Each structure stands twice: as structure tokens, then as C-alpha cells.
Structure 1
Amino acid sequence: MNNEIGRKITSLTLMTIMVAGGLTFAIPGVMPEAMAANANLFVSAENSQFDNYMSGPQVIEVVIIDSDINDTDEAKGEPDVTINGKILRMVQAVDGNWYGYFADRDQAQIADSVVSVAGNGTGIDFGNFCSATTAGQLILGNTQALSDTEGVAIPASGFGTIGS
């Protein structure tokens, strides 16, 4: 009798495993899907409902949390991050994580222009827009540092008057 119960339990267990395995092929939505290409990469605009598309004047934050490069007291190079083939410059914060931000330049400039028209301090104020060369010189002291960038918005109070 005990032998028969053992065989039934084994049979039910194997059948359950086979059914569950078959579901992963028949219904792919049952399996979880990773949105980032790396477990250490977090992007603020990740949303599978909208196929990860961004729109409007969104500022997207990219964060890399990696224990291999999070030491703030040792010199380590910044992680390589590209967006549509262009380099996103990353900076390391005191928490050891690496941060980078990007936005659609045209949409950001449209949103920024509304602030100056309204004149009442409402809206999205991106600051002063300047070329990548000017921003690279002002921020990093190197005109080539932001070569893949189309433009940079710097807070109006950050560097005083900006020429371009």
C-alpha cells in the first residue's frame, strides 16, 4: 500500500513539473522578463507597458549600482553606458553609485521656453542651454569630454554668464 502511494505521489510530482515546463513554452508571458540588459542597471523610464519609450521633456535617470566599482576612495574608471550608440557620461556619488541623466533636447527646450513666456516661475526650467564643447570646457575643463552630447543645460546660477 505504501509503495502504491509513493508511486502516485511521484507520478503527480512529475506530471506537475511537465505541465509547468510546458506552460513556459506555450505561454511565454508566464516567465518574468528582465527590462535592463544588466542586473546592476536601473533606468527611471523603464516601463514595458509603453515599450520603454520616452516622450516629452522627461529627464531620464540612469543608475549603476555595482559593488565592483562603488569604492569612492579608490580611482576607478566610469562605467561604459551608451544610449542609441552615444556615450552617456556618468558621475559617481558619495554612495558609490554611478549616475547619468539625459533628455530629448528639442522637447526640453520647448518646455523651458514656456517658463520664460509665463514669467511667473511655473513650468520646467532646465537652465541655460549650451553646446557640448562649451559645457565640457566649463564643467570638465576639456572640450572633447562631451563629444557625443548634442547640448547641455546648466543651472543659471551654476556658472554665471554662458557665451554659447
Structure 2
Amino acid sequence: MKFKALIASATAALMTACGSVDVDQYAKETPKLELSSFFTGTIDAWGIFQKRNGEVARRFHVEILTNWTSPSEGTLDERFTYADGEKQRRVWTLKRQADGTWQGTADDVVGVATGRVSGNALHWTYVLRLPVDGKEYLVNFDDWMWQMDESSMMNRSTMSKFGIDLGEVTLFFRKRMPGSPS
């Protein structure tokens, strides 16, 4: 009986993996995303977290301060302010690998985030330590970003644990123009 359940679970996982979108599908989309070009200066982002039933559970603003030591290595200092007043900070260190993929680390990311850019899209996968009600959970993120124009980007991330969807994070990024208010 346990063996049949294991086979069923493995088959379901394999079918889900085979059904996912490949970032190369966006190869011809423009504008072409260059992380070190888009993520320059200060960027504002507005987002929501939706539970798996669609209910918006949290709203937030993120101010992102960027610093690149080269086109292949930089940091994104994300400063979150939630609608309830909670503040949070995540500092990503990003490095382009020899094969063109990207790796990212942050204090609350378990191990290394891995990502690929193609056309206007970036696809990241990683495990995040997520604090909830005084407890910490390890949650899988399937994170997609699409550059819309020279100053804006959309982001949609699905969160899951043990293959079960927990919810989605949706963000809109906008580069802050010189002279615009913070």
C-alpha cells in the first residue's frame, strides 16, 4: 500500500515538473532583460500575498537599493514595509555564472537560489525561511519576473511546501526616476 502511494506521488510530481514553463519560451521577447541594467539606482515595488483561495492576506511596499561591482555581480538591498507597519529587510547577493545562469544568496534563503534569464524573463527557484506567528517554515519559491519596459517589471511567485501550493506573491517594480519623490 505504501509503495503504491509512493509511486502515485512520484508520478504526480513528475507530471507537474513536465508541465512547467521553460524560460527559453521568452527568448524573443523584448526588452531584453539585463539584471545589472534594470536593477540600477533605487527601485520601488508594490506587492500582495494571496492565500491559495485567492484572499489577499498582506500588502506591502519594497524599496530596493542596488549596487553592482560588475555587470556579473551585485546586491539588491530590499526594504519591505507591510500595510500593518511591519518592516523586513532582505539583501540579495547576485552572481552570474560562467554558463550564463544566476545564483543568489540572502540570509533567509536556504542554500543558493538559481535562475535563468531569457528574453525579457527571469525564472528563479529557491527555498526561503518564512517566519509566521513566531515559527519558521521552509517554503519553496517558483519565482518569475518579466521586464515590461525600460522602467517596469512584473513578478509572480508561487509558494509551496511538500508540493502543496500555499499562495502567490505578485509584485510590480518601477525604477525611481531622478528627482522623483521617495
Larger radius of gyration: 1
TM-score > 0.5 by shorter chain? no
Scaled by the length of structure 1, the TM-score of the pair is 0.22
| Larger fraction in strand | 2
Q: Which has the higher contact order (CA 8 A, sep 6+)?
A: 2
Scaled by the length of structure 2, the TM-score of the pair is 0.21
| Larger fraction in helix | 1
